[in-house]
Copies of this chain bind each other. A is one copy, B any other.
Amino acid sequence: MKQSGMKPSDIKRITKIFKALSNENRLELFLEILKINEKSFETECAECFITDIMGTLSIGAPTVSHHMKELTNAGLVITERKGKFLTAKINDELIKELAEIFSTEKS
């Protein structure tokens, strides 16, 4: 029961995380990055090229750029520029923290 005594700053940080996941396009971006992250469990190459994902979404490049920044600011993903391209990978530590919030004794 990790969430019992939560500091106001934690509340704020966590709402920011959930807000980042509360938009359809942003959630799809995140899940896509998460999927790549899982797939490349054995191989250590867990990077994901954002350009590739873009095609599957019905929004323009400026909006994707904006959404990526929100996912990054929330701490959910870590981005890196590879030449012309932007890559992203999952911040596994944060995911672990989120998993704990939803882990209950009533399994």
Contacts and interface: CB of A to CB of B under 8 A. Distances in A.
9 contacts: A6-B31, A18-B21, A18-B22, A19-B22, A38-B104, A38-B105, A96-B104, A99-B102, A99-B103
Nearest to A41: B105
B35 A14 contact: no
A92 interface: yes
Given A15-B24, A18-B27, 20 more contacts: A1-B34, A1-B35, A4-B38, A6-B31, A11-B28, A11-B31, A12-B24, A14-B21, A15-B22, A15-B23, A16-B22, A18-B19, A18-B21, A37-B104, A37-B106, A38-B105, A92-B106, A99-B99, A99-B104, A102-B102
